[in-house]
Structure 1
């Protein structure tokens, strides 16, 4: 079984509905004007924290999340319906990254309100908006804006004030079950628990904190050995780490070597984690003689307290020394920021340009010429001086780059035929 703390999904907002190009057709109204309605807005893609979730397991079954498209506008100025939003629920502590680059888009750890990650496309305008004094019957409408899509990776990083770290079988699960209401499975396993177990430590007078048993770290974890990356990412959230070591060396482990090995893994994975307060719990003192206990604890203090890592001799089985350790950690946390570590945004979604307004090119049989219409044509004619050489060159380039010349040729235009752009007419020559 693999702990579901990472998942890759595809997300997409809704496309905007197209505007409608229609004209009022009623008895006794011979010259009905344009009455095309606007298209509906596409649905938003929204992320929201669900406190009841604690894994990303649901995302292993469903990997595609799409908002609804806006409906097209209709005649008689009827507005198309807006597309339905897609709400994606994630557990607290979820980070959303761009799959391709691995950069952080959004950290949901401190988000209490829904977050719109991909906005739905705006609906296109109907032809009723494009009527002017010179063009009272526009035959074009604006298309809806395209949907926005993204492949993202979800990563769950446990939100806990304190992390318990240590090699397998040093007593982390026993310690957690003693100090919290958590019920981790406890056995003499030489492999690690797969799920980080969370519990709340309740001390007197409203004091307390959230603690997590981070699954056992092995040497090479920072290089991805075993399930290294799966577990190390959970430590990124913690403010204080408690190193649980087997001070009695029940299984022949060297507690000093174990702490150095784990610190090296933390430094290799993320140096910032190693800079946070570290506390040492010298566990299993109940299995030692008084003399051996003093010797083991003294060796640990000599090695690590000079670096600010305070050592507490404890017994997770009998509870000896546990309260002193918890109160020390509680006071330590009061000196640190209250909010959990939040990852800064590294990847910024580009604001794609609005869907380009259409350019309509068609043969006008009644007048025997080719018409070119559209809001962009009107704007271009408004700011271009066609009597200057520079302005005329810009005009020719505009026709070519926007595919107008290609469309005229597709319609069968011949040399000498007339092209009309509103009040401007010119003869076509290659």
Structure 2
């Protein structure tokens, strides 16, 4: 009896251990199942959602990066078009100021001993310059092309949509630009009746045509007057708005100052004969003289910060707007100058990282005649506007001529030069002002 009881207890104990193991296994299974149902499946859904969001954000990021690249390219192109427009418009007045134009003419009349019998001034008008028709239809002015390009870039310069949308916008802008067949500029006309000696009249005409802003002689009539000449002249003054304030001094002058003589129609034989007008016109005359001095430079270059509306580097042959090359660089831009002499003829070529002049850079370059005994480059720099302003230029010169290559650097930053020069070959002189 006792033996059977022990046997039963042992059997029960064995069953209990098996059940315990089964229960443990069942419990573990229930835990895993509960984790899968209550936690893992939800986390898996979230992970899949996050993966989808990641793909979506990656797509948006790629689009933004493409827009940033496009925007950077548009900004660079816009700056280059700004520079081209500036080059084309630099010879025109920035605005029509009747009083100042009268003072300018008064100075010329007084300086050249001209007797002005009468002067007529038209109202300021808006001159529409339309494209010529018939056989001239295909011809367009340089400034018109520059303005068209500028307007196209302005319309496409803010990439708020995808690249394809922006391209459509640019194409639309181009189509709209093609429909524009005219330009408008402010204009004022002066009619002069004058007399003087032959030499004085010729000097007067030279003074007008050589003025640092363009004055157009629309019509001129001359006839003999005693031992001299008398005549009438129609002068047109055009004003083109400037993209930058390069003519800011034109608008800064005192109207209540003393300029010229009391009566511009009075004979110049008195003590005022040949006097230069004082005041702000003297400043304009100084600017004109400086402009004439600048004509002695064979090449000019400007170096600006990236915050400017113009490219950081512009370089070209003085007086030749088609020769300019540009670059817009947040860091240091390398500009290479190559000068050579072959059988007594001088040649030049230069390049930035973005452009070459001439386009075919394999040969000696473009023939030119230096304006003086030396070959001169004038560099207009700017002071750095912050510690983050890192733009600048490194000019590398290869001078294979018998002349000195003189580089005149003006207004460069004294502490952190924006302009540096590497002497590659030949005689090179550097002057900093």
TM-score, length-scaled by structure 1: 0.20
Structure with a larger share of its residues in helix? 2
Highest Rg: 1 or 2?
Answer: 2
